[in-house]
Amino acid sequence: MKYYLPLFLILMSLTSIKAQEEKNEITTYYLIRHAEKDRTDNSNKDPNLTEIGQNRAKNWSIVFESIPFDIIYSTNYNRTIQTAEPTANSKNLEIKYYNPRELYDEKFKFKTTGKTVLVVGHSNTTPQFVNKIIGEEKYADIDDLNNSNLYIVTIINGVKTAILLKIEY
């Protein structure tokens, strides 16, 4: 009988620690648009990156060097995959694909809660994705020649904050 009280106290303290960890759950999303794409063939719906775009993709991996990503997402297009690859390679992470028509749905939210996530998208889907996460229409589509936006969304205990940075290389 005397062993039950210490066991009970240990279980209660472990439950309290777990509740405290869950209480301070932090999710951080870094969202970028793909780097500069090849525009020489207007009929090509899936172009590769230009040399400038490849350099920008490498630069993103330097920008993200100290970020401990858990997951890296990209749409399944050459330009977004090529933008994500240098960062994914530097982190030894596999690129996961998301459907740009299904932004921040319950499945995505479940998989990423409590994680640090990079999402690579497009001039229209990236700001839409951010807006969906934060629950407001804060950001407009990105100008077609702008490849330098970095959106950072943090969710701490359900409180959402978003910031937009311009990262030139």
The arrangement of secondary structure in 24-166, i.e. its CATH architecture, is: 3-Layer(aba) Sandwich (3.40)
DSSP assignment of 129-159, as one string?
HHHHHHTS---PPPPTT---EEEEEEEETTE
User: Is residue 106 over pLDDT 60?
Assistant: yes
DSSP assignment of 42-61, as one string?
TT-SS--B-HHHHHHHHHHH
Helix (H, G, I), strand (E, B) or coil at 5: helix
- Asked if 89 and 72 count as a contact pair (C-beta separation under 8 A), the reply is no
When comparing pLDDT for 89 and 18, which is higher?
A: 89
Confidence of residue 23 (pLDDT cuts 50, 70, 90): low
At residue 55, φ and ψ (nearest 5 deg) are -65, -40
pTM score of the predicted model: 0.86
Tell me the per-residue pLDDT of 35-48, one tens digit each, with 9 for 90 and over: 999 999 999 999 99
The length of the chain, given as a count of residues: 169
Confidence of residue 17 (pLDDT cuts 50, 70, 90): very low
Chain-centroid distance of CA 99 in Å reads 14
Residues paired with residue 164 on neighbouring β-strands, in sequence order: 151
State the pLDDT at residue 22: 53
Q: CA-to-CA distance for 167 and 160, rounded, in angstroms?
A: 22
Tell me the per-residue pLDDT of 52-62, one tens digit each, with 9 for 90 and over: 999 999 999 99
User: Is residue 156 over pLDDT 50?
Assistant: yes
When comparing pLDDT for 16 and 93, which is higher?
A: 93
Tell me the per-residue pLDDT of 121-153, one tens digit each, with 9 for 90 and over: 999 999 999 999 999 999 999 999 999 999 999
DSSP 38: P
Share of the chain above pLDDT 70, in %: 86
User: Among 112, 96, 163, which Cα is nearest to 134's?
Assistant: 163
Tell me the per-residue pLDDT of 49-91, one tens digit each, with 9 for 90 and over: 999 999 999 999 999 999 999 999 999 999 999 999 999 999 9
